[in-house]
Structure formats: C-alpha cells, structure tokens
Chains A and B, each alone.
Chain A
C-alpha cells in the first residue's frame, strides 16, 4: 500500500493537452465514429475516442486532420492499419483467418440446430407393454393368492 501511494505521488505523468478544434457536427460525428473503431495503443482495450491517454488524443487529432482533408473512412482506417496493422482495428475485418472468428460460432449454431432437429424427428421407440390401468378393471389378471387383494378386485368389479 505504501509503495502504491509513493508510486502515485512520485510518478511523472504526460502533461495533458486538449484535443484539436472540433469540426462541424456532421464531420465531427464521423471523427468520433472512426475513433470508436480504432484501438488505443497505450491502453489496449479502449478505443482512441474513449481513452484519455495522450497517445489516443494524438491519434484523434490525426483522424480529425484526415477527415478535414477530405479522406474517406476507408482511407483513414488504412492510414492506421498501414502503421499499426490490423491490431489498430477494434473489430477485425471478416477476411482471411479472421473469417474463422465470424464463421465458427455460426457453424456451431447451425450444427447444434441440425442435431436437435434430427433428435426431435427421430421416432419414439415402442415402449414395453404398459401395466394395466385402473380404468380397465376387467383385464385378465392372474388370480392372486392374497385374499385381501382378491377382495379389493372383486369390490372394484362391482
């Protein structure tokens, strides 16, 4: 605990800078949407739009600069993948090996559905002769040696 407190007190941090000036609402919406698709290099699991790190801010500035320069969304994604690889994309494209990630769950779902359907369509096996029901008191039964049981049967037959 002491080490944590000392670390927090003595550690140095990057001086925070504000992001570049926002664009007009439609283009700024594109900037934010693209920022949500790009992975922050310093914080791993976050997008650059959601991260407060200095590196993410610098990348958001770059997205804004490219949008302002009239680049398409695809060109902007390519700018980042040409530097950071597909790693830069939070959602990998459905091509090549990545197709497995998209298709495997679907295949398992379809396979499971087929297995369930086949099981349900299978004819129910003929059950062994069922025991006599109380509604069929006249059914032939072997006489019992037990006088009490015979008395009950006689009673039921009346």
Chain B
C-alpha cells in the first residue's frame, strides 16, 4: 500500500490523459454529482457531500476540501459503457441492392475515476450480460477492454446505501487498476493507494509517493469500517430468490402499484439495468436506413407488446417484473443478484418507493401468511 498526497493527484490525472484516455469522473452539474470529462482535480465536487433519502437528493457543503466526500448521483458508468443512444449500423439501398455499413470501432479509451465498489460490481454484472454469454456485444467489449478503473473506497455512507447487505462494498475487492482511500484531517490530506493491475502499477511510476505506515493503513481501514457500520438501508437477502419467485400473487404488489408512477426513473439510474430498444429509421429519400439502439425500460407499457396487446399491461405487473428480475430471476439468468445496493432507485423515485422496504414487507407478511394458513386448518372442525 502506498500513499499519494492530495497535491500529487493532478499529476496522476495528467498521466492518464497523456496515455490517451478520456478521463471521466464525478463533477457537479444541475445540483447533482454527475459523471463527465474532467480536466483536473478542480472539476471534482471539492468540499461537497450529499444527503439522500427516499425521493430526496441534496448537495450540502462540507467543512473540508475532500474530493470524494459524497456517494453516488443519478448517473452511473453504464452511460459510457453502453451509451443511451448508439447507432448500430447504416445501410444504403441502390439499384435493388443493399449495402450495410457497420459502425467504425470507437477509438476512445475511457478512464473512470471515482468508481465506488457498488458501481464496480455493477460493471462486472453488466460484463456478464454483454460479454459473458453466447453472443458478445462487441462495442461494449471494446470499451471495457481499454477501460481504466480508478476506484474509490467510500469513507462516507449514503442515506439510501445498502452495499453491505448486497455484499458489494464499501471496499473494492477486484477488477480495478487502482483503488484510492481518501484520508483528510485538519492538517493532512492524502490517499492510500492499492494497486490492482499492471496498468495501475505503471500509472504510479514517477508520481510522488511513499509507503504507507501501518497506522495509516489502519486509519484507512477504520474509515471504511465506519462506512460499513453506517449504511442508510439494509436488505435481508436470505433466500430472496425463492421468496420473490414464490410471491407472485402477494398483495404487496397491488399496494406498491398504487404508488408507482411507472416513470422509469429507477431503471434509468440503476447501474445494472441494461434493457434497450431498437429503432429503424430512414432519411427522406428512403434509400438510407439506420438502426439505432436506445435505452429502454420495462416500466413502459409497450415494452412487452406482442400483436394484440402488452403482456404486462398493469403497473403492478411491471413493478413486480422489475423488482423480481433485479433481486430474484437475475440469479437464474446470470448467477448473481442484479442489485448492488447503491440506493439510487430509492433516492430518485419521485414517490420514494424503497426496494428494501418492499422486500421487508413481503418477507414479514410471507411468514404471517404461512402462520395464518396453519391456524385456519387447525380451527374449524
């Protein structure tokens, strides 16, 4: 473990940019922490933190100049790895012949700085979807191949965070190039840096650094432990796959449906939601066609449309689909949970529907249902 002073961080940024990467990291825009291209550490949300709760997000000034003293905002890294709008190909029709023009492979190499453990897990989950199956999403694969990940261990917990419940944080464990833990006191400001790969190691060359002392390492660990202990939410994942699969007819779905606006915010902010749609367009002449891929959401009415109508026409069925997929059927499909406990869906839901609360109600009343059934059969002779 080594230490880099805060003042040397800009050197690291420069090095990354010189190596040809587009440096993406957190910055403030529209009163939120979003991910965008960074020029220097000055673009980071210096001295800011966030207060999050169901349906609530506020930026609040801290009384220090920390660079990563907040958690996650409405955006996730999926907007760079699987962009909201992408052209897939073009085609020209001439003399009753059609010529398809594939998209040129992107030359951008992305370096992500400030990737939280929950987010890193979300990226790995999307890796399974796009490059872990029989078919490979070649553009996603290319962006991931050249992807530099500088992760940040959270030293503060968010109001809607529950990564501890989902076993996805707050400490990053794998798949990163460098992992930083920010330590800031009234007279010190430095980063503990853990190397995760050859690329990470190379980045650190000729950046002023020193070996971390055991005390300093402990300080870092304590900060992370404090974060673990102060999660805003929790979700009991015991047997959750079976619990939700067997709760298809639970009355709770009707209750949440009466609140849900099917606005699709949760799917837009969720770092693992991957659904897209395809749109075929032409120009006015009708001789040039394009196929575009756009983000989509299972909350839309026509998401499940087949001739005659939509299979999931009620809001109830769509909410149930989303939550059951995220926490239950994702296991059957990809071998892991689809949820990383980042809490975004709770924060950005306009009516503050809380996925952890929905699970709690279903779990608790599920026990009740079993009990009352037994009582009934013992009762009347």
Q: Do A and B interact?
A: no
Interface residues of A (CB under 8 A from B): none
